[in-house]
Chain A
Amino acid sequence: MQILMLGWEFPPHISGGLGTACFGMTQALAQKGAKVTFVLPKTNKGGDPGFLKLRSASGTMIDYEAARRIHSVGEPMWKDNVRFMPVMSPLMPYLTPESYLQAIHDLEHSTNFSEHTNIETGTFTYNLKGGYGPDLMTEVYRYCRLAAAIGLQEHFDVIHAHDWMTYPAGLLIHALTGKPLVCHIHATEYDRSGENINTQVAAIERAGLLGCDRVVAVSRLTRDVVVQRYGVPREKVTVVYNAVTRPEIEHRYVIPPRLRHEKRVLFLGRVTYQKGPEYFMEAARLVLQKVEHVRFYMAGSGDMLPGLIRRASQLRIGRRFHFAGFLRGEEVNRIFALSDLYVMPSVSEPFGITPLEAMLYDVPVLLSRQSGVSEILHHALKADFWDTRDMADKICAVLQHPALAQEIVANCREEMKTIRWENAAEQLISIYQSLAGGAA
């Protein structure tokens, strides 16, 4: 079974939640014997993990014949489905009005037009930057054409596209080669933006989800969004839960003696509307009325951070509520290991992999019921994100009753044994096989 996988992130090339998921998934797929070719917008030297073939879309030469085919199939498809014209635009996810202005400014002063044409052979290519730059839409459009050129070169049985950035490419290769297309949805535009969606992104998402052969959603929650918002038939959507890979080297972190009489409660994630940081702060305020010797840590950055720092000072809880900023690598492990409770109060979370990471460090977790991961974690504490009293009550309970934390951790550890990428890979392979007609 050969898979052409289209993705926007892959560690170490931009390693958000999407990249981490793609890594674990492809690794497990490779162990099950699937041959994966992973097309990224851009790869750096030395990033090849060895278990798959990593290809960079950027710089792939498109010859005349390929360009003609891509154009003849691609252009009508845009007009019918996406109604999308490439324009210079600084649109990107997670952007606020202020940062948008900044991005516009950057765009006007940038010289990143990078089309390269070889006059003699009639071939041409684009250079992509990868990531979520200001001209994301243009990048998506170009990635689509470059990936299509790769699709015409490679041999594969199934196309597997991750999130909307790669759906146009997936659709185009699907139309060019007739190979079945699986669209994997890690987050919908409605999760990222609430009701104020980017209509272009939503249109691409809709076209991809409706035009593919099978949709893979990361949770029942996401499946319901896809069914309700985009009218995708329910039977076309399969739920495959994400998992987490246990790190091989486990560093032991020792709690500094001066902090041992205290308990630490952690929020880790983007400080944006989607992640519900203000509910965390409100719960913290309530907890601090009842319990002493507790500190709250908010790790991450985002557009809501300045407002929340002001709010913390207004509430006069600054002495017990700390902003750790954006943490990476070792620092993340350390703060997980030192925490007594991890809270994920997300307003909308298609899956949410961080609670699983917290559980790797035997930290009890409190999840919002509005998260996909709460569907598979029976032994986590759960609260509705808006019910900050309930959340605060549960935080207090974990801090005050060692028996509770002990029981949660013991049961979660058992539960973690069943949350494995191997299981996800098995599900995916059976999807591939049903689509490819047993061509394995």
Chain B
Amino acid sequence: MENRIVCVPGQRLCRLDSTHTLGKGTYKRQDYIYSSLAGIVNVDNTNNKISVVEVLSKDQTIVPAPGDIVTAMVTTLNQDMCKCLITSVCGHELNETYRSSLRRQDVRMKEIDKIDMLQCFRPGDIILARILPMTEAHTFKLTTAENELGVVIACSEYGHPMTPISWTEMKCTKTSAVEYRKVAKIVQDNADENT
């Protein structure tokens, strides 16, 4: 390890001016940048005008925040909404699941009144969704109202995995039965990332 500065929370790193800005793991107080984690100080000089001061640390526990794309598993379903457990945030797996719910009107963008929840999701499906901005509610609210969001992995009634055919249908691999889901349109380049 050559010349890396190890810092602890509360250590003053540098002055906050036009050439340095705050990065991850830092906070500002009275014109100076302080560290809020224990780790190594890294100054990111890729942008020529401004260098970003950040603190690299071990993997921290991530908390879901509004606007993040999350992977969730559907647990219960009724006509108004379905309850899900958030298992990973932006690709990082969480140690513990967070409870969340997906309302009927947030399933897709078009024809909101004609949505039948049973034809969009089933318990046990793995979905990609986005967290809506926080409201007064106690659980996270999700939305799948985009083309790239929706069911990614599902099992048919007979217990075998299914592959997507269109944006509303999935086909069982063993029995070739077709079932209805709100399927996520996965762009081919990112196919490996999403399995």
A and B pair up: no
